[in-house]
């Protein structure tokens, strides 16, 4: 059984032990997908609401005893589970029958009480509905409840070779989709139309389109709108495309016609910051050193005082561990800023310049290796031309 489990049980057990957790009750779709090696029930890929409640899958994992794990599935999930098992992938014993959050938690706790001797429970507080939490408090009133987000996040932070291959492919497909969208973009088209080009391009590459943050011209507004591209204007394309559960998140630039000298210089400054931030990346480096290198480059740049640089972890979740700064666009504690990076971690680095010419940005995906780094989807970094 252990040979087929798609994550390191020893690493997870150590993280749980350090957090004072004996039993995990996992309720987030992303962590269940990770712990089950990519499995998810297709019916609720878009929305969880159904009937009078919502779909709530639950995975129970007992520290040091993966054979005591169980997966609580929805009533209509049997076919999906059978396909998964039939394909030879790991799946713990499955408990079918839930159609509400209360039923799902009731079934999960029946299993917990049958297999656990200690009730130090790790839960994902941001992903546990109130009515299911009420069931937990009622059925196990003396249980010690611990937030499980951090150990699960740290488990996911070091990617396997297979995960890195998926992230590389996700990144390359996003950039290829952007180039496809640029080739279809014309003067007079709206941001909604440009985003639709990108959506179709990602879907054609077997990706799930998650989002696109697009600017046109001098506007810094990145939301979809009817704003239309005028001759000579620039376009920023920042998109997250999901490939087999992992997010390709990159940003590239385009311009109608040939870029003038000022635009070339501005994007060149941003490229300089991006490359400077890459130089020190390797296993053993602390995340703070990435920011030190970027800040030194910003200090030398003519527009450095106007630019914004950030580095963050990425994978199944955008802005996951390693968490390297507390002052980025998504606020969270910089718990990993002074911890050594490890081979297999993946970091997004991005430099943004809100300028009178428009919103200019590059965002890259960087995998940490023992001796340096690998950049995924590293093409299309200059001004990509939009035809008339």
Calpha distance 309→201 (Å, rounded): 28
Do residues 47 and 189 share a domain? no
- For residue range 30-52, list pLDDT tens digits in order: 999 999 999 999 999 888 999 99
Clarify whether residues 76 and 149 are in a common domain. Answer: yes
Strand 94-98 relative to strand 70-74: parallel, antiparallel, unpaired? parallel
67 and 30 together in one domain: yes
Last residue of a domain, one of 107, 137, 157: 157
Contact (CB, 8 A) for 386 and 182: yes
Mean pLDDT of 320-333: 93
* Structural domain span for residue 330: 161-386
Has this prediction a pTM greater than 0.85? yes
Given a contact cutoff of 8 angstroms between Cβ atoms, the answer to whether 120 and 23 are in contact is yes
User: Do residues 202 and 265 both lie within one domain?
Assistant: yes
Q: Are residues 86 and 202 in the same domain?
A: no
Query: Residue 46 sits in a domain of what CATH number?
Result: 3.40.350.10
Domain containing residue 260: CATH number: 3.90.230.10
Do residue 84 and residue 165 come from a single domain? no
Number of domains in the chain: 2
Do 12 and 109 fall into the same domain? yes
Q: Which range has the worst mean pLDDT, 43-52, 73-82, 260-269?
A: 43-52
Domain boundary among 95, 123, 157: 157
Q: What are 354-387's pLDDT values in tens digits?
A: 999 999 999 999 999 999 999 999 999 999 999 9
Beta strand 49-50 with 53-54: parallel, antiparallel or unpaired? antiparallel
Say yes or no to pLDDT of 70 above 70: yes
Q: Given the structure tokens 């709108």, which residue do they identify?
A: 225
Residues 320 and 359 in one domain: yes
Angle at alpha carbon of residue 246, lines to 242 and 248, rounded to 5°: 60
Mean pLDDT of 12-40: 97
**The two structure tokens encoding residue 352:** 């943004």
- List for the chain the helix, strand, coil content (%; round to 5): 40, 25, 35
Q: What is the pLDDT of residues 220-232, one digit of tens each?
A: 999 999 999 999 9
Residues 81 and 137 in one domain: yes
What is the reported pLDDT for 127?
97
Specify whether 120 is located in the same domain as 189: no
Q: Which helix (H) or strand (E) holds 200?
A: helix 191-204
Domain end residue (candidates: 124, 157, 190)? 157
Q: Residue written as tokens 């495309």?
A: 241
- Per-residue pLDDT band for 68 (boundaries 50, 70, 90) equals very high
Residues 222 and 324 in one domain: yes
Residues 205 and 106 in one domain: no
């Amino acid at each position: 059984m252990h040979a087929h489990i798609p994550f390191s049980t020893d690493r997870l057990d150590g993280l749980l032990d350090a957090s004072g957790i004996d039993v995990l009750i996992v309720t987030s779709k992303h962590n269940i997908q990770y712990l089950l090696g990519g499995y998810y029930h297709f019916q609720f890929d878009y929305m969880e609401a159904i009937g009078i409640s919502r779909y709530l899958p639950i995975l129970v994992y007992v520290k040091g005893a993966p054979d005591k794990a169980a997966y609580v599935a929805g009533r209509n999930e049997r076919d999906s589970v059978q396909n998964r098992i039939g394909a030879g992938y790991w799946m713990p014993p499955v408990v079918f029958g839930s159609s509400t959050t209360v039923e799902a938690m009731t079934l999960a706790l029946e299993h917990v009480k049958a297999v656990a001797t200690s009730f130090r429970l790790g839960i994902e507080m941001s992903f546990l509905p109130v009515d299911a939490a009420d069931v937990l408090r009622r059925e196990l009133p003396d249980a010690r409840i611990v937030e499980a987000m951090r150990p699960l996040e740290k488990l996911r932070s070091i990617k396997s070779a297979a995960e890195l291959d998926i992230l590389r492919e996700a990144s390359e497909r996003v950039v290829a989709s952007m180039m496809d969208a640029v080739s279809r973009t014309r003067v007079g088209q709206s941001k909604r139309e440009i985003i639709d080009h990108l959506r179709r391009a990602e879907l054609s590459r077997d990706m799930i389109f998650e989002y696109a943050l697009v600017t046109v011209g001098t506007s810094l507004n990145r939301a979809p709108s009817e704003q239309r591209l005028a001759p000579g204007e620039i376009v920023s394309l920042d998109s997250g495309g999901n490939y087999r559960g992992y997010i390709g998140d990159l940003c590239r630039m385009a311009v109608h016609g040939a870029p003038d000298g000022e635009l070339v210089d501005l994007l060149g400054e941003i490229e300089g910051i991006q490359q400077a931030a890459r130089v020190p990346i390797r296993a053993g480096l602390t995340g703070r050193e990435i920011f030190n290198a970027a800040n030194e480059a910003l200090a030398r740049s003519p527009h450095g005082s106007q630019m914004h640089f950030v580095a963050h972890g990425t994978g199944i979740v955008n802005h996951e561990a390693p968490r390297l700064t507390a002052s980025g666009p998504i606020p969270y504690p910089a718990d990993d800023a002074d911890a050594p990076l490890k081979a297999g971690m993946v970091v997004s680095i991005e430099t943004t310049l809100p300028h009178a010419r428009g919103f200019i940005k590059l965002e890259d995906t960087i995998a940490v290796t023992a001796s340096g780094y690998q950049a995924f989807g590293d093409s299309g970094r200059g001004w990509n031309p939009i035809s008339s």
